[in-house]
Amino acid sequence: MDLKSVFSFRDSEDDAKPFLDHLSDLRVMLIRMAAVLVVAMVGAFFFRGILATVVQRPLVAVDPARASSLQSLGVADSMTISLELSFYAGLIVSFPILIFLLAQFLFPALKPTERRILMPVSVFGLFLFLAGVLFAYFVVLPGTLDFFFKDAKSMHWTPTWTVREYYSFTTQFLIAFGVAFEMPMVVLALVKLGVLTAEKLRKTRSAAIIVIFTVAAFVTPSPDLVTYLLMGGPMVVLYEACIWMARWVEPKQ
């Protein structure tokens, strides 16, 4: 089997295939996606030292001495955290290929309108996810770490963080912001499919803002008000941007 046959879209005539044949196609797709993800994870594992340094950088930016004070209490912490970082890095690196393999399976079942927006929406979604991660990494995370460190000191405690707790908190924090920034992709996809319109988005603005801050309260991995506002605020701005962009992408009557 050559690469051309692997990375090629099936014709819509495949819709007439028996149900068991579609299950076979699903199995092949899942195997290919798993293989791509594993290869990306293995490749990322060789750069685990760089990944660890990158994740520690927000802590170093606040105080260089704090990164060296992280404690490893588990015997297998180094390997467990390395695998976790490799998984996330491999998932991000292989995301375009995974989306393509998924599209390859779904393409025959989609309507022409849905086919046209599938790949642009996937690329736009990856861009928004990375934008959310970078925004959290450079803007929100350093201030959040500094807040918790100083808050512990104000309680007359010694803030001794473990490696496992720090990496778990940091990765969840970055992913939460990445997922939150996916809102425009979902909204614009619904607008393009005719489910939503710019007028509906304007009329439901007040309710949407309430929902946004409610979701931000649950998604934000830290309970401080600053982080809460820094997540909810950009999401409100993105919602307003969606209203303007909806005018350009909604189907013309």
Q: What is the pLDDT of residues 3-59, one digit of tens each?
A: 555 545 555 544 455 656 667 878 888 999 999 999 999 999 999 999 999 999 998
* Per-domain boundaries in the chain: 3-181
The pLDDT value recorded for residue 237 is 87
52's tokens: 């660890």
Contact by Cβ (8 Å): 184, 92: no
> Would you tell me how many other CB atoms lie within 10 Å of the CB of residue 10?
15
In whole angstroms, how large is the CA radius of gyration of the chain? 22
Ramachandran category for residue 71: left, alpha or beta (phi over 0 → left; psi -120 to 50 → alpha): beta
Residue type, 29: M
How confident is the model over 219-240, as pLDDT tens digits? Answer: 665 666 777 787 788 888 888 8
What value does the mean pLDDT of the chain take? 81
CB-CB contact of 182 with 129 (8 Å): yes
**Side chain identity, residue 41:** M
247 Cβ neighbours under 8 A, 6+ residues apart: 198
Q: Quick check: 187 and 246 in contact, CB under 8 A?
A: yes
pLDDT digits (tens, 9 = 90+) for 136-187: 899 888 888 888 888 888 888 888 888 988 998 898 888 888 888 888 888 8
The answer to whether 224 touches 144, Cβ cutoff 8 Å, is yes
